[in-house]
Amino acid sequence: MICLWTGSVLGGRKIKATLAGEVLKGSVAKRCPQEGILLPLLWSLVVDELIRGLKENGCYTLGNANDIVTINHGKFLNTTSELL
């Protein structure tokens, strides 16, 4: 049910830009709207769990609004990449 609702909110979005009387219209293929109720809901459903999992694997991870920063350090690049 949530997947159907999310798809209907994200699907069919249109954009319009005007500059010096010139109008450009298009459709949005990707990205979550920056305003509205969808972004906090998706953050709560997906990103909180992602951050928790990264922290449990030893990655220093912070999340704010729609940004995530994670820092991972180690002696060997392959090992640290696998942990991340």
CA–CA distance from 68 to each of 17, 32, 79 (Å)? 29, 15, 21
Is 55 a residue whose pLDDT tops 70? Answer: yes
Q: Give the mean pLDDT of 59-71.
A: 77
Average pLDDT over residues 34-60: 78
Closest among 50, 16, 13 to 32, alpha carbons compared:
13
Intra-chain end-to-end CA distance of the chain, in Å: 31
pLDDT at 35: 64
Band of the pLDDT at 22, cuts 50, 70, 90?
A: confident
Neighbouring CB atoms inside 10 A of 32's CB total 15
Does the reported pTM lie above 0.75?
no
Domain ranges, ordered by start, for the chain: 2-83
pLDDT, tens only, 26-43: 887 666 666 666 777 777
d(CA 44, CA 42): 5
| CA distances for 18 relative to 10, 13, 32, 35, angstroms | 23, 17, 22, 21
